[in-house]
Amino acid sequence: MKSCLIVDDSRVIRKVSRHILETLGFTVEEAENGQEGLDKCAETMPDVVLLDWNMPVMTGIEFITQLRQREGGDKPKVVFCTTENDVAHIREAISAGADEYVMKPFDHETLQIKLQLVGMA
């Protein structure tokens, strides 16, 4: 079974994402900020990370930069989930190591398509 870590400071987004991912057959872990997400990755590296951009403690960009520098941190597929939709933000996310990008709010079908694009659904 594939695993996904949802890193988002919004409890609602984590709950909605968890529901979608579980119906797609993922086991799901949650973190409410980037530092907590890195701690969870240190315990067990997930197959996929759904990553928010704007969070307290550590932003999504800071999280992915640190994740990609860790041993095994190149393995998870990272999908940024954010309200930031301009080309500069998308380019920054991809440059930092993101595999895909999805706009909030998203639905089951949209997330499933993004996961298929990164080979995880």
* pLDDT, one tens digit for every residue, the chain (121 residues): 999 999 999 999 999 999 999 999 999 999 999 999 999 999 999 999 999 999 999 999 999 999 999 999 999 999 999 887 788 988 999 999 999 999 998 999 999 999 999 999 8
pTM of the predicted model, to two decimals?
0.96
pLDDT of residue 117: 97
The whole-number pLDDT of residue 86 equals: 83
User: Do β-strands 48-52 and 100-103 pair in parallel, antiparallel, or remain unpaired?
Assistant: unpaired
Residue 121: its pLDDT value, please?
83
The token duo for 96 is 């930092």
Whole-number Cα distances in Å, 36 to 22, 89, 98:
21, 23, 19
In this structure, are residues 77 and 100 in contact, taking their beta carbons and an 8 Å threshold? yes
The domain locations on the chain are: 1-45+56-105
* Number of neighbouring beta carbons within 10 Å of residue 36: 19
CATH superfamily of 1-45+56-105: Response regulator (3.40.50.2300)
| 43 vs 54: CA distance, rounded Å | 24
